[in-house]
Amino acid sequence: MMFSNSLTQLQWWKTLITPVQFSHEQIPDLSGKVAIVTGANSGLGYATTVSLAAHGAHVFLACRNEERATEAIAKARKEIKETYPNSPEPKLEFLELDLNDMRKTRDAANEFLDRGLPLHILVCNSGIMAIPFALSADGIESQFAVNHMGHFVFTTILLDRLKSSQPSRIVLLSSMAHEATVESGIDFLTLNDPSKSTSFSRYGRSKLANILFAKALARRLSNERVYVNVAHPGYVNTNQIKYTKREFKDRVTQAFSDLVAMAPEKGVLTQLYLATSPEIESRDIRGRYFIPIANEIQPSSYAHDEELQEKLWAFSEDLVREKIGAQGP
């Protein structure tokens, strides 16, 4: 098993030296805007939800577990009241979404569409990282299924609503780990073969798919005021990095993580920049990749490969047709 880049080629160190280009104070008034945040009950999704709602957006927390989402809503209400005492009563709602299952994902998107609301901001934030090999409800390697396929289905079904609500934004969460994918970038023929990947290269593959999808989608939307961009949030202290800590089981690694990992309130700024900054429209920023805090850099050469972007799009469409038939996007 080979990685596409050796560790020395990875650009992670850039996140330590790039400047802070966006702050919570720069988020504009979002009254009248409707947003969906996937994986909104914890970590970066929760921090995104708090900021969007505190600035007036009506936010749907698209989560797989109602109890965790309800707790997050109560916590967010309290936090917004304390941190933004002048903001109006936050509008927060739960939308049940399980990205591990395409049929349920389609149903979640349709449930939102049935509400008849506009959609101005979609943050595809949910993610699972470096977990042991498993198959999704549809028989697809689970990190690829949740991190990419689920968001592909959800976004494409919501696309007409995003277009009719324009100007609108789509933000995908990738990672520097997209540079540590499997040897061919995406091995479509052996996706489900655990002997051809590791738990971490499967994560990298799914995060590469997030950038490839963002770029292919941005190309399709080049004549619309629907702005699609992709963020690496940095190394952020969330539930997700606890998996990494568990995996390494190393006190030095844990201490290093605790020392260098950003708080979610700071790590969330790059995705908030892409979701809310007026600069995205005024500078016509589309299909680009940003690292903390709100700095554009070039992703890996695989991510730039238009042929691979289109191959992933066609592969994803075929999978949707195969698994959920004509009722897919």
Ligand X SMILES: NC(=O)c1ccc[n+]([C@@H]2O[C@H](COP(=O)([O-])OP(=O)(O)OC[C@H]3O[C@@H](n4cnc5c(N)ncnc54)[C@H](OP(=O)(O)O)[C@@H]3O)[C@@H](O)[C@H]2O)c1
Amino acid (1-letter code) at residue 11: Q
Q: Which range of residues in 20-28, 57-65, 112-120, 245-253 is near ligand X by CB under 6 A?
A: 57-65
Is residue 65 involved in binding ligand X (CB under 6 A)? yes
With CB under 6 A as the contact rule, the residue among 18, 42, 295, 316 that binds ligand X is 42
**Nearest approach, Cβ of 164 to ligand X (angstroms)?**
25
297: three-class secondary structure by DSSP: coil
Residue 181 main-chain phi, psi, to 5 deg: -85, -170
Question: Counting contacts by CB under 6 A, is residue 288 touching ligand X?
Answer: no
d(CA 173, CA 311): 20
Residue-level length of the chain: 329
Does 37 contact ligand X by CB under 6 A?
no
Q: How far is the CB of 80 from ligand X (least distance, A)?
A: 19
Shortest Å, Cβ 50 to ligand X: 13
Count the residues of the shown chain that bind ligand X, applying the rule CB under 6 A: 31
Q: In Å, what is the CA distance from 295 to each residue of 26, 158, 179, 213, 274?
A: 15, 28, 17, 20, 11
Radius of gyration of the chain (CA): 18
Give the span between the Cα atoms of 168 and 162, in whole angstroms.
Answer: 6
User: What separation in angstroms does the CA of 204 have from each of 7, 84, 186, 329?
Assistant: 13, 37, 10, 25
CB 248 to ligand X: min, Å: 14
> Among 233, 292, 299, 329, which residue interacts with ligand X (rule: CB under 6 A)?
233
Beta pairing, strands 289-291 & 226-231: parallel
Instruction: Report if residue 109 touches ligand X, rule: CB under 6 A.
Output: no
Q: Which residue in 22, 27, 35, 43 binds ligand X (CB under 6 A)?
A: 43
Tell me if 64 contacts ligand X by CB under 6 A.
yes
Q: Which of 148, 149, 129 is nearest to 201 (CA)?
A: 129
Report the candidate in 319, 8, 321, 302 with the shortest Cα–Cα distance to residue 139. 319
Q: Please say if 46 is a catalytic residue.
A: no
Candidate residues 4, 18, 100, 168; the one interacting with ligand X per rule CB under 6 A: 100
Question: Among residue numbers 174 through 193, which ones bind ligand X (CB under 6 A)?
Answer: 175
C-alpha 18/C-alpha 232 separation (Å) is 13
Which residue among 54, 146, 275, 293 contacts ligand X (CB under 6 A)? 146
Q: Does 36 bind ligand X (CB under 6 A)?
A: no
Burial 194-216 (b: 16+ CB within 10 A, else e): eebbebbbbbbbbbbbbbbbbbb
Active-site pick, 46, 84, 203, 243: 203
Residue (224 or 265) nearer to ligand X, CB: 265
- When binding is defined by CB under 6 A, the residue of 51, 126, 168, 309 that contacts ligand X is 126
Peptide bond into 167 cis (omega under 30): yes
Query: Which residues are identified as catalytic?
Result: 203
- Residues of this chain that interact with ligand X (CB under 6 A) are 38-39, 41-45, 63-65, 68, 97-100, 125-129, 146, 173, 175, 232-233, 235-236, 238-241
